[in-house]
Structure 1
Amino acid sequence: MAASDSADSNYAIFRECVSSIIVARSNQHKPNRAPKRRPFKLKSAKRKDNAKSPDPSEEVSPEELAEFIDFIATEIFTTLPNALQTLSYSALQHSPALATTYALPLTLSHLESLSNPLPTTITDTLATYSLSLEAPDLLNRALTEYIPAATCPPPVWATTRKSACEICGRDWIPLSYHHLIPRSVHDKVLKKGWHDEWMLNSVAWICGACHRFVHRMASNEELAREWFTVERILEREDVKEWARWVGRVRWKTR
């Protein structure tokens, strides 16, 4: 996975961590008196009488709260070191030093170094919602949830059964699992360093017709080297055409 893809995926994880903290700590989602400096402009503060602060009794909509959470998460996430933004199970396997650096709980000195780049406007914005949270405190709580979520090991692949074929989408026919990295080339994969050992048993749940198509479209070595995820397979034009065609094949009821 490219670093940019990993960062995008991890941002979604981080935003969810921030969201759970803010929603749990919010005071019925009602804004407090506006601070002197307001980096995030609340929609509810746009009043016809041009009042400078929102009405404390006016509830904030879920949509506005979601916008607020996204703003806070983005402001914090973009200040994190690249290694933390792209943290993953694979990254920890390749770097014991990285695993030590981000072992929980984070040390006070490490937390301070991560908190220093945070813009002061984050705390001002948090005060708008009466969350009683300082930016470093929010960062610590978010990272405590984010790091385990971003670095969790892959599931036991054979237990990830789907209800529909991952290629054609048909959900009324039997499925079997396809080894995305064919077992016959596992030794070569490890020798060449194409993938980590923990990836060898990754599977896709597909129907018999799609299973045969996949093995016709490429050799086992090509599958292991180039087409080792469902997402990569589905990028091929021949696969897209096949999926559209076979997805219309239905058996007649007796």
Structure 2
Amino acid sequence: MDDIEPDNVVDVDIVDTNYAIYRDALGAVLIDKLAEPEAKPNRRQRRRRGKKAAEKALDKPEDKPEDKTQVNPEAETEVDDWEVVETEPQEQKEPKPRQESTEQDDNAENSPSDDLAEFVDYLARETFDLLPEDLHTLAHHIWVADTALRDKYGIAEDGSTSGGVPAPGPLNAARVAELLPGLDPSPVADSMEAYGLLGGTKTAAEIVAPALSAYLTAVAAAPPPPRSTRDQADGCEICGRDWVPLSYHHLIPRFVHAKVVKRGWHRADELQNVAWLCGACHRRVHRFANHEDLARYYYTVERLLAEPEMQRYAAWASRLRWKGK
């Protein structure tokens, strides 16, 4: 039954994972934008000279030269009716939505930090749903296998690669506007404007562009290379114990190598990636997930340790003093 599973079924897990990555990328951009102080240039102001000094100047005969020795020193600074003075930039203030929390705000049901989190979640969900479907499920193995996809979303201007494959290039606002035609105008754009993110001619696409670029780079990146030799392992890569015997664990189990390559989950040159684990952790990993799930979702140590169950196990195993075979 496994072999006849249709390949066009949407992988819900990868969509949820990608959404979390996109939300973090957009959140980082929004926080940076909201933290930017408003740039206010020095203003040139005209200051009216004192009324008495002005009247005194008008009373002077035109043909009589001014006797500066008789001028009141206090009035001497007021030379003309108007003078231009430079003023210091006004104290820069953050946008209203980022008001400093008071003790009362922290105890309130909706504190500013909660409001900001809800704002980020709202914008992330609305804009992620507007993305083309092929970006919802994008992953490294898909990026590697699909030349048309790489051409569609460009490559990095500096020629950088991910696992030997050109990396996604930065998207500008014009390209984002093409990918998300319903973004400007929209309720999303209105919300951004209410938060002070849009000013002048700035559009919502300009806000989303760096976040979407960061998202593409993250999901298309190759998995971090695992340690491939025993000498490079300081200890078990799960529990960290360095006094126990280690054995290598195929991060993509050998039993599903043919299936993995056939379905495009990984490249053939990634099949021999290994992690060095103690006997106890090695057995735990294989009890945690079956071969196919290990190959599809847990093909790096980082992905394994991202699971709460494995985190709890690793914390427990790190305190064990017996070696375990």
TM-score (norm 2): 0.51
CA 1:92–1:21: 2 relative to 1, 3 Å = same
Q: Which residue of 1 aligns with 2:129?
A: 78
Q: What displacement does 1:17 show?
A: 1.2
Give the secondary-structure state (helix, strand or coil) at the position aligned to 1:78: helix
- 2-structure distance, mates of 1:171, 1:209: 11
Matched, 1:95 2:146: yes
- 2-structure distance, mates of 1:70, 1:162: 40
- 2-structure distance, mates of 1:191, 1:128: 49
CA 1:142–1:182: 2 relative to 1, 3 Å = closer
Residues 109-151 of structure 1, C-alpha deviations (whole Å, 9 max, x = no match): 6433222133711111112221225321122221121111111
- 2-structure distance, mates of 1:95, 1:113: 21
Matched, 1:120 2:186: yes
CA 1:156–1:249: 2 relative to 1, 3 Å = closer
Task: Specify which structure has the bigger relative contact order, considering alpha-carbon pairs within 8 angstroms and separated by 6 or more residues.
Answer: 1
Native 8 Å contact 1:13 1:146 kept in 2: yes
Q: Which residue of 2 aligns with 1:4?
A: 12
Native 8 Å contact 2:172 2:209 kept in 1: no
Matched, 1:62 2:70: no
- 1-structure distance, mates of 2:97, 2:179: 28
TM-score (norm 1): 0.63
Native 8 Å contact 2:138 2:220 kept in 1: yes
Q: Indicate the larger mover: 111-120 or 170-179.
A: 170-179
Q: What displacement does 1:105 show?
A: 4.0
Q: Please provide the CA RMSD for this pair.
A: 4.2
Mark the structure with the bigger radius of gyration.
2
Q: Which residue of 2 aligns with 1:14?
A: 22
- Greater fraction of residues in helix: 1
Give the secondary-structure state (helix, strand or coil) at the position aligned to 2:249: strand
Q: What displacement does 1:22 show?
A: 0.7
Q: Which residue of 1 aligns with 2:81?
A: none
Question: Percent identity among equivalent residues?
Answer: 34
Residues 150-206 of structure 1, C-alpha deviations (whole Å, 9 max, x = no match): 11112221179686563xx474643443123467996x6788668521431332342
Native 8 Å contact 1:180 1:228 kept in 2: yes
Unaligned stretches of 5+ residues in structure 2: 1-8, 36-93, 99-104, 106-110, 155-168, 305-309
